Amino acid sequence: MGVRLAAVERGTPACPGAVSSARLLAQVASGSEAPAGVAMPRAASAGPGVARHSGQHVFWRLDKPAGGAIFLLGSLHFGDDRLYPLPAVIEAAYQSCATVILETDLRLTQLPAFAVLMQRKAEWPPPLGLEPSWLERYRAWYCANQLLSLALRQSGVDPSRGIDRVLCGRSQADGKAIEALESPEFQIDLFAGLSDVSGVALLRESLAEVAHVRGFVEAMLTAYLAGDLAALEELVTTGFDSSPELRERFLTSRNAAWQAALGARAGSCPGDDLVVVGTGHLLGARGLVASLRQAGFAVTRL
């Protein structure tokens, strides 16, 4: 029998260093989308801001043995106008690339079939045919994601202004090829495959941190615009240190699969490609940049 919201102990404090829903959403491009038919309040959109990019960026160039380059761009899956326009070096790379490679094909996440799939995986069967309340209707991991997604919107950022979604829309309009490293269903299953215990722990963390999301958002945007990789790594990935199982599920195994795919592409597909993935996947000793360097590729930060 599954564990529902009612099983969460009231008043339980957040575990220090625990992996939060906000951190997990930072790793999964499609993880924060609510399915059709689920009414979620809308927050006012952020007003125009001033881009303050400076110095080096969350951006690298891998020189392909086959000729050309793979550009690796760290994305925030939420954003506001402070992220735009993109720095000139990133804009130039986008213009040079015929193919843009995303974590998942975000065009598919806008289709009704994606919403149906998300709801099917997230929803409990109604007990004895009775209609449950909204929070009792869905599994704990889904409730955690929706609470944090709503909190992100209320803090003034929006998934539609995330770098990956903006570049997906631009690529489609510009006639560029769009490829993906993972399917939308794979990304849903990263959450849907969590045990009931892990899902409830995630919900407990989310309930504890909702009031602090605005600070998390501002810290992320500030570090990203400054190109402060150490601060970004601290914000996004160090919470996994206390949860090796979740680190393996959400970061390590996916990075390894992506490293193999991009390494093969670098040796066989000439020309320039732009790869846009969550920033956390690129950072640290076990990140994608380090693993590609360890595999023998020349990777330069821009």
Q: Which of 137, 125, 118, 86 is nearest to 190 (CA)?
A: 118
CA 147 to chain centre: 16
* pLDDT of 54 over the 80 cut: no
Burial class (CB in 10 A: 0-12, 13-18, 19+), 62: buried
Strand partners, 273: 70, 99
Mapping DSSP to helix (H, G, I), strand (E, B) and coil, where does residue 79 land? strand
Phi, psi of 235 (to 5 degrees): -70, -40
Paired residues of 72 in beta bridges: 60, 275
Q: Which tokens is 222 given?
A: 């500030």
Give whole-number Cα distances, 257 to 123, 125, 147, 253, 288, in Å: 30, 34, 30, 6, 10
φ, ψ for residue 300 (rounded to 5)?
A: -120, 135
User: Looking at per-residue confidence, does 24 or 215 come out higher?
Assistant: 215
- Name the more confident of 67 and 51: 67
Quick check: 110 pLDDT over 80? yes
pLDDT of residue 149: 87
Q: What is the mean pLDDT of residues 44-59?
A: 56
Of residues 109 and 32, the one with the higher pLDDT is 109
pLDDT in tens, 29-46: 665 444 433 333 333 333
Q: Which pLDDT score is estimated for 259?
A: 97
Q: Would the pLDDT of 1 be above 90?
A: no
pLDDT beyond 90 at 280: yes
Q: Which residues pair with 301 in a beta bridge?
A: 60
Asked if residue 125 has pLDDT above 70, the reply is no
Q: Higher model confidence: residue 80 or residue 54?
A: 80
- What pLDDT is recorded for position 42? 32
Please return the burial class of 186, using the count of CB atoms within 10 Å of its CB with bins 0-12, 13-18 and 19+.
middle
Nearest to 204 by CA among 22, 14, 17: 14
Q: Give Dmax (Cα) for the chain.
A: 62
Which is more confidently placed, 147 or 189? Answer: 189
Residues in contact with 40: Cβ distance below 8 Å, sequence separation at least 6, in sequence order: 34, 146, 149, 150
Q: Determine what percent of the chain is predicted with pLDDT higher than 70.
A: 78
Mean pLDDT within 204-216:
86
Q: Is the pLDDT of residue 140 over 60?
A: yes
Distance, in Å, from the CA atom of 25 to the CA atom of 217, rounded to the nearest integer, reads 12
Regarding predicted confidence, which is higher, 225 or 3? Answer: 225
Domain boundaries in the chain? 21-34+53-301
Structure tokens at 216: 């998390």
Mean pLDDT of 63-88: 95
Q: What share of the chain has pLDDT > 90, as a percent?
A: 55
184: three-class secondary structure by DSSP: helix
Q: pLDDT for 233-277, tens place per residue? A: 999 887 787 788 888 999 999 999 999 999 999 999 999 999 999
Lowest mean pLDDT among 57-61, 89-93, 121-125, 293-297: 121-125
Query: What's the pLDDT score for residue 34?
Result: 45
Mean pLDDT, all residues of the chain: 82
